[in-house]
Chains A and B, each alone.
Chain A
Amino acid sequence: MSTVGNSTNIFWHECPVGKSERQKLLNQKGCVVWITGLSGSGKSTLACSLNRELYSKGKLSYVLDGDNLRHGLNKDLGFKVEDRTENIRRVGEVAKLFADSGLICIASLISPYRKDRDACRALLPESFIEVFMNMPLEVCEARDAKGLYKLARAGKITGFTGIDDPYEPPLKCEIELSYKDGVCPTPVAMAGKVVSYLEEKGFLEEDKERN
């Protein structure tokens, strides 16, 4: 029996079906692909593309999109600093559950603060793949896919990442996607890069050594 955080008198219940059995069923290894970057940098587009590429290879993945989750699990949270932190904490914990279930969980959210992303990484020491959409602010603003930069510039939204709230780029991440020779790679090309990484690191097959 233990006390964890604010919950007292709780037990850790063992369950006979574990992660490795689920991974064997799925022939893949559960992990989290964490896509971070400015609004309009192409995170959701990459997430969709990656989802599709993995599906075409018979791999099960699931997208946790920041916007999506703010309609459900995280609908009680705003955009204040502490709410952003809690948003990311919860997404990290849910992503961890998905990875434990054997899925390749694709989390797509701005997640602007390094400390918060690092906290999520700490939940999944060997299966956290951080993908940085390194797109210049001007490019993101020019796209302005949701009209938010316009609102932010007009002062109608405050604390908007990139305008009046910081984005802290990763110092060291697994994959960085940026312009190549002045051209933005296509979503399919970027997804391909992530898939190659996953393949190389053995996430697209079960861990045969353990079985």
Chain B
Amino acid sequence: MPAICEVGSWGFGVTSEGLKGLKGKLGLGIGAGNVVRFEARGKRNVGQVLALERGGMRQHVNGKGDGSQGENLHQISTVGNSTNIKWHCCSVGKLDREGLLNQKGCVIWITGLSGSGKSTLACALSRELHSRGKLTYVLDGDNVRHGLNSDLTFKPEDRAENIRRIGEVAKLFSDAGIICIASLISPYRKDRAACRALLPEGDFIEVFLDVPIHVCEQRDPKGLYKLARAGKIRGFTGIDDAYEPPVSCEIVLKEEGREATPPRELAEQVISYLYEKGYLHAQ
């Protein structure tokens, strides 16, 4: 079984495949095929370094601890062609958890106007993925405002903080190996971009529910458009606060007609994307 351990923010597996482009990334002079002596889980191993993947949580490489697990991060040295890598493998990493779950952690960020069907899609997606044996968790904007974000209002600065916190929590869930489905209006491009930046490339999958406002308003599942039109709610997205649609996102689900596409069909589009990109099985 490959020994997988994390060095700084990178985990690497030792198997029979070659590794390219590592040199310079860690500043260790590790290149494809380099023989590496290392300790993993208390055992000494020798092998060829290959696939490198970001473990996610730690921000530093080259042995500088950020106190992340309370253990000294690894002192790394290079001698000739052999790189002696010493560390004590602390906790279980993202790759291990993904192996246990047979999936890859990621964040599916569903954005759109109120009434565009975000929560409905989130539920359908979680149901479909569960039926395929995948572990998901839905972070619904409203639900999180009942707990973690119960101290926040809908003022612009609080909306930004709401999204920031959900982004950070989604990142933790993704690191845990879970397919985290975040469902919230998240109207401002800048805030969504900030969440995207928290995650490794590819792990932030933005899904835009592109539904015209008149359709959302017609649905008005929570009666909020009516209240907003009557002036009883201020700063309501789409009425008197802006929604900035994504300029470029991974999935756009467009609804134009009166008949809404069944949630299950929309969910299948997302699942196809996940499958193609390899999120429905471990590395």
Q: Which residues from chain A sit less than 8 Å from chain B, CB to CB?
A: 1, 4-17, 21-22, 25-26, 43-45, 47-48, 51-52, 55, 58, 60-65, 67-68, 71-73, 90, 93-94, 96-98, 100-103, 108, 123, 145-146
How far does the alpha carbon of A1 sit from the alpha carbon of B138 in the complex, in Å? 19
Closest CB in chain B relative to A58 CB, distance in Å: 7
B193 in the interface (beta carbon within 8 A): no
Cβ-defined contact, A8 with B154, below 8 A: yes
How far does the alpha carbon of A9 sit from the alpha carbon of B225 in the complex, in Å? 11
Closest CB in chain A relative to B205 CB, distance in Å: 18
Cβ-defined contact, B151 with A44, below 8 A: no
Indicate whether A103 sits within 8 Å of B153 (C-beta atoms), given known contacts A71-B59, A94-B169.
Answer: no
B158 nearest in chain A by CB position = A6
Task: Provide the residues of chain A in CB contact with B101, threshold 8 Å.
Answer: 60
Cβ-defined contact, A51 with B91, below 8 A: yes
Cβ-defined contact, A26 with B135, below 8 A: yes
Chain B CB within 10 A, most for which of A6, A96, A102, A146: A6
B66 in the interface (beta carbon within 8 A): yes
B243 in the interface (beta carbon within 8 A): no
Q: How large is the interface on B (under 10, 10 to 19, 20 to 34, 35 or more residues)?
A: 35 or more
How far does the alpha carbon of A103 sit from the alpha carbon of B172 in the complex, in Å? 12
Task: Provide the residues of chain A in CB contact with B64, threshold 8 Å.
Answer: none
Top 6 nearest A-B pairs (CB, nearest first) are: A44-B70, A5-B150, A67-B67, A93-B148, A73-B168, A7-B145
Indicate whether A94 sits within 8 Å of B148 (C-beta atoms), given known contacts A11-B222, A45-B70.
Answer: yes
Task: Provide the residues of chain A in CB contact with B71, threshold 8 Å.
Answer: 44-45, 48
How far does the alpha carbon of A26 sit from the alpha carbon of B126 in the complex, in Å? 15
- Among A9, A11, A15, A65, the residue within 8 A (CB) of B123 is A15
Cβ-defined contact, B127 with A17, below 8 A: yes
Indicate whether A73 sits within 8 Å of B150 (C-beta atoms), given known contacts A1-B223, A145-B70.
Answer: no
B223 nearest in chain A by CB position = A1
Closest CB in chain B relative to A45 CB, distance in Å: 6
